[in-house]
């Protein structure tokens, strides 16, 4: 087993029930299990007959990104709630980059909410781009389909908002996604998010 499920020290959350979080953590553990399973199965099939097993090996390799990114994005997601909500630090590099890009301190959240309105299952992922020379390129917000489609290669992840219905359907109806998104921000620990934003970005 290469990966083990992480445990998260979560406080009582506003607008997200303990049952919702329990169900969601169970799904996270499933991704960890399947990352290990794919790696083990590929290794076994290669050891047995790499040519004869080429098709199943190839198909599992295609599947790895879904399971791996599903595992890792959930880790970004849950750790953002550890320690409880706190407001953005106006002295942080992320705050300065937010002002440069959006012109006001609420710009990043407003943009994330806009991207969260994208139809379909997936994630809003906020990235930093330490290689950007234009200050406007220091923060990117993408909609990632499933867990792996549309990720921006190599960019450090700053924030991850799960928009799969499993993330909120214990507490909300599908049409109430906006309420779930509001609850996400009500519980977001900005200190954790800011620490992910590289000082050089
Ligand atoms: Fe999820």
- Residue 163: partners with Cβ closer than 8 Å, 6 or more residues away: 116, 118, 121, 122, 123, 124, 177, 181
Q: Are 38 and 63 in contact (CB under 8 A)?
A: yes
Instruction: Report pLDDT digits (tens) over 167-180.
Output: 999 999 999 999 99
SS3 109: helix
Instruction: Report pLDDT digits (tens) over 99-146.
Output: 999 999 999 999 999 999 999 999 999 999 999 999 889 999 999 999
Question: What pLDDT was estimated at residue 1?
Answer: 78
Q: Are 95 and 25 in contact (CB under 8 A)?
A: no
Question: What pLDDT was estimated at residue 200?
Answer: 57
How far, in Å, is the centroid of ligand 1 from the Cα of 123? Answer: 9
Q: Are 136 and 175 in contact (CB under 8 A)?
A: no
Q: Is the pLDDT of residue 201 over 70?
A: no
pTM of the model: 0.96
How far, in Å, is the centroid of ligand 1 from the Cα of 200? Answer: 30
How far, in Å, is the centroid of ligand 1 from the Cα of 45? Answer: 30
How far, in Å, is the centroid of ligand 1 from the Cα of 182? Answer: 16
Residue 43 is encoded by which pair of tokens?
């290794």
Q: Where does residue 43 rank: exposed (0-12), middle (13-18), buried (19+ CB within 10 A)?
A: exposed
What is the percent of the chain with per-residue pLDDT over 90, rounded to a whole number? 97
Average model confidence (pLDDT) across the chain = 96
Question: What pLDDT was estimated at residue 9?
Answer: 98
How far, in Å, is the centroid of ligand 1 from the Cα of 105? Answer: 28
Question: What pLDDT was estimated at residue 110?
Answer: 98
């Amino acid at each position: 087993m290469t990966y083990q499920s992480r445990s998260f020290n979560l406080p009582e959350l506003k607008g997200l029930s303990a049952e919702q979080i329990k169900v969601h953590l169970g799904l996270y553990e499933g991704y960890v299990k399947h990352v290990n399973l794919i790696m083990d199965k590929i290794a076994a099939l290669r050891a047995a007959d790499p040519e004869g097993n080429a098709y199943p090996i190839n198909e599992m390799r295609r599947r790895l990104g879904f399971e791996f990114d599903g595992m890792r994005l959930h880790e970004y997601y849950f750790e953002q709630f550890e320690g409880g909500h706190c407001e953005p630090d106006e002295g942080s590099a992320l705050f300065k980059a937010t002002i440069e890009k959006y012109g006001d301190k609420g710009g990043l959240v407003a943009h994330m909410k806009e991207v969260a309105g994208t139809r379909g299952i997936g994630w809003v992922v906020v990235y930093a781009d330490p290689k950007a020379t234009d200050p406007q390129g220091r923060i990117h917000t993408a909609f990632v389909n499933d867990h792996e489609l549309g990720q921006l290669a190599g960019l450090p992840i700053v924030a991850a908002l799960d928009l799969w219905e499993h993330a909120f359907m214990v507490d909300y109806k599908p049409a109430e996604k906006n309420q779930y998104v509001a609850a996400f921000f009500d519980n977001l620990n900005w200190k954790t998010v800011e620490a992910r934003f590289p000082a050089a970005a």
